[in-house]
Each structure stands twice: as structure tokens, then as C-alpha cells.
Amino acid sequence: MASRKTLKKSVKSIAQELLSDLVALSLTGDADRERLAALAARTVAMEKDFVARISHAEPGNVPYFFKKLRADFEREANAVAAEIVTL
């Protein structure tokens, strides 16, 4: 298992990549501004939520907690990325 610090950096890095894609789309002027703003807000909220979850792991079965956290993050990040592609 990676350290919490490394995991937090990974979450932040992926969120920053998604936000940079949104900024690039906003510069082209072809995409809907409201959808871009909603996706940006969703991405920032996702980042804050997962960093907070990493900081406060549930006691008990810690390896299962982090396995579930990674699966949840992967699912949410892929959903945001899929919406970016449809813009």
C-alpha cells in the first residue's frame, strides 16, 4: 500500500489534469460554459472529498478501506473524464 501522502498527491494530480482539460475546452469556445463550470465544481468537490477520506481512514479493515477508496475514486474520475469527452 502506498503512503497516504503519495495517495493524496495522486488524487490531486489527477484532479488537476481533469481541470486543465476543462480549461483547454473553455479556451476553444465551442463547449457550453455552464456544463464546464458544473464539471469544474464537481472535480474540485471530488478532490476535496477523496483527500478528506484519505486523511480519516475508518478503523478496522484498513486495507479494504483503501481498496474501496481507490475503486470509488477511479469510478468518479472516469465519469468526469467521460463527460469531458462528450463536451
Per-position pLDDT tens, the chain of length 87: 568 899 999 999 999 999 999 999 989 877 788 999 999 999 999 999 999 999 888 788 888 999 999 999 999 999 999 999 988
The pTM is what? 0.89
Q: Which pLDDT does position 40 carry in this prediction?
A: 95
Write down the pLDDT at residue 1.
53
- CA-CA distance, 73 to 32, in Å (whole number)? 26
Given this model, what pLDDT does residue 5 score?
93
CA distance 67 to 70: 5
Cβ of 41: how many Cβ atoms within 10 Å? Answer: 10
Angle CA(50)–CA(52)–CA(58) in degrees, nearest 5? 95
